[in-house]
Amino acid sequence: MGTRIDKDAFAKGILKSKEEILIEGKFEGEIETTNKITVAKGAYVKGPVKCKEIEIMGIVEGNVFAEECAKVFSFGKIQGDLKTGHLFVEDGGILAGKIETEGRSKIVQEEEGKRK
């Protein structure tokens, strides 16, 4: 079991872990893990994020480094620079910043995304 910030919670500071991190509430500060970060729908993160993989359905305001993969779903938004190996953006996902990928990127239309 990893680290979880519940939807009614607010946390501030530095969060470092080797486990998965699930943000359902609000977090301000630095997040770093050698695993996956999930920012749930309705969640908000402000600050730099460094991880292996990230899935964004909420809002991230800050620079993101995802070593392997970044997925931005239809309700997701990154307001900051993104560097990742692979990028997946669902129709409606928002990226507002500089994007750097080292692998292939994929933008999925809404209908195509529903079939998967």
pLDDT digits (tens, 9 = 90+) for 32-87: 999 999 999 999 999 999 999 999 999 999 999 999 999 999 999 999 999 999 99
Write the CB contacts of 114 (distance below 8 Å, at least 6 apart in sequence): none
Contact 70, 54 (CB under 8 A): yes
Select from 20, 114, 23, 36 the least CA-distant residue to 71.
36
Secondary element (H or E) of residue 82 = strand 82-90
pLDDT digits (tens, 9 = 90+) for 2-25: 899 999 999 999 999 999 999 999
